[in-house]
Amino acid sequence: MPRRLSYVRPFPPKFLVSGPAPPGRVLNYVRRLKAGDYDTLVRGPNDPRNLDHWTVCFMVGLGLVESRLPFPYGPVTASEKLNLTGPGERLFQLLRRFRVSFPEGSGPAAIRSIRRTLESRPQVYEEVSRILLDSPSLVNFRIFLASRPNPEVRHDDTFYREYGGEFGIDEAAFNRVPSVLQMAQLCGVVPLSGADTPSEVVVRYSGSRGTGSRTLKARVRHEIRSRSEDQDRAIDDLADDLGSGVPVHAHAVVTLVKRNVLLSDRLKRLYGGRCQICRSTFKKRDGENYSESHHVVPLGKRGADRLSNIVILCANCHRKMHYAEVRHLPPAGYRQYVMINGETVEIHYSTPHRRFLSSGRESSGR
């Protein structure tokens, strides 16, 4: 039984568990708050000059808006205008790179659309996720998942009441807890439901402490008794990629290994087994070109096991990406660059791969 962890409670429960506040509305409100684009702060998002006060309450819990108690309701004077916090300001600067209004629906399609937009700039998505995951509301939700004997996340009233009850929220849990859950989905901590769920593989928490890399590899190899060479290598790569500080279930990594091999094979065929950085390879004994797959945003840093986050590299470039001083640079048009030990190199994308990524589609690799 995992040790029960202590929750972070810098605000009253109405801020830590609030809503309904879909992720897209939260991101749009960051821009509106910065611009002072509102006159009232009452319940309901329909008035274009109003900010829904439950959404703003949730933004306080996300550490994006300064807390002012008593919280203002109704007409807002110039002196009562709300301010973004430091993390809120950083989020605003990141969102300025996107000239779109984010969909404000609460379903998987809207969240998936927002993720596709943010993931078009992997480093931006990683930073946005880090800001949100470090907030009191999501820290508490992650503690909750890590503390439960059953790591499964369910979209039902029982689960909502279970989490809401931790903060004394019962009757309105069905309306307020989903906001936290949806934001966790945006950050890749919780899988999205819907028809294309197989393309979303998320490593779930199993306890308050991370599993050592060597132990995790042994557990996964125990569960996959009959392994291909590619699966055996994927176990090492994925366990190293996750790092020792991420608490995971071995069976979740088993799923990850099997799916990662499918995705990697698809890209290896596309690039003929040649490195996307240096273009080199070598022939294996079976005559095939040797290459390895690499997650641009590591799984241990909430990166996704998706075609948009995987590149094909030679063994040398792959080790550099893990152990050298690496900094991903902003995209320049259709080109993606990375700085390795002070040297700028390009990650080359083929025309079919680039066209696939720009289409916004993902696949399980089957």
Question: How far apart (Å, rounded) are the C-alpha atoms in residues 269 and 251?
Answer: 28
Q: Is the pLDDT of residue 170 over 80?
A: no
pLDDT score, position 227: 61
pLDDT averaged over every residue in the chain: 77
What percentage of the chain reaches a pLDDT higher than 70? Answer: 69
For 295-338, how does the pLDDT look when each residue is reduced to its tens digit (9 = 90+)? 887 765 656 667 777 899 999 999 898 889 988 887 776 678 89
Tell me which residue of 1, 78, 8, 69 sits closest to 36, measured CA to CA.
78
Answer whether 50's CB lies under 8 Å from 40's CB: yes
Q: What sign has the CA pseudo-torsion 178, 181, 186, 190?
A: negative
Mean pLDDT calculated for residue range 212-230: 64
Query: Above 50 in pLDDT, residue 194?
Result: no
What average pLDDT does range 73-94 have in this prediction? Answer: 88
The whole-angstrom distance between residue 129's C-alpha and the CA centroid of its chain comes to 6
- Least confident span in 1-10, 71-80, 201-210, 272-281: 201-210
Residue spans per domain, the chain:
13-194, 213-358
pLDDT at 88: 97
Task: Supply the pLDDT for residue 195.
Answer: 33
Confidence (pLDDT) at 1: 36
pLDDT at 356: 63
